[in-house]
Amino acid sequence: MAENDENDELGGLDVGNAADRKILRSVLLINLGQSAAGIGLGIWAASTALMGAGLDNLADASVYAVSLYAVGRAAMVKVRAARLSGFLLIGLAVLLLVEVMRRFAGGEEPVGTAMMAMAAANAALNLVCLRLLRRHRGEDVNFKASAIFTSNDSIVNATIVLSGALVMWLGSNVPDLVLGVVVAAIAANGGREILREASKSAQHEASTGAR
């Protein structure tokens, strides 16, 4: 009887892991597409905000790839994967800040309409990702990291729409550059939150193992 219960439990875990992998594969592909479009359009439109959003989506895709690897593995493997995601996001935030400072020294006015259109499309796709991620039930640190990344994206896209309108109204690249700094700060804070969640999970595992 105990053996049957154990087999049922293992079967349930396998089904749950398969569902988690399916969710992560879906959001991974969505974010890879968003990243390619955001970086490409950002270069064409001379927008650091769009390039930053594209880099943010690339970081998201990396998080989802790492999370996909961690599904069904030991808790500490998941913690290490989450930490990698956090450091990656902070690193990308630093790179974006460097690009913003370079453009402050001289750069053309970005295309406001392109910024607004891309941000609106990204916002719709982020809602799809959030709905997919909410299908997961549990306290997995990598799913928490994924939700943090996607929530950050929603904030970024809302501010890009506003920045695009200001660029068109003022005829200046300053709103785009200021938003680039904001995006970098949001990304760095998201990385900090992920590292904090990973530390909490590591402490929980350490206290559980010590009992």
> Would the pLDDT of 6 be above 50?
no
Tell me the per-residue pLDDT of 182-210, one tens digit each, with 9 for 90 and over. 877 877 887 788 788 778 877 877 777 65
Q: How confident is the model at residue 29 (pLDDT cuts 50, 70, 90)?
A: very high
Range of the domain at 112: 2-210
Tell me the per-residue pLDDT of 35-76, one tens digit each, with 9 for 90 and over. 899 888 888 887 777 877 787 787 778 777 777 777 666 667
Number of domains in the chain: 1
| 203 and 141 Cβ atoms separated by less than 8 Å | no
Tell me the per-residue pLDDT of 92-150, one tens digit each, with 9 for 90 and over. 788 878 877 777 766 666 777 887 888 888 888 888 888 887 766 555 566 666 677 67
- In a 10 Å sphere around its CB, with 0-12 CB exposed, 13-18 middle and 19+ buried, how is residue 61 labelled? buried
| 136 and 23 Cβ atoms separated by less than 8 Å | yes
Residue 11 one-letter amino acid: G
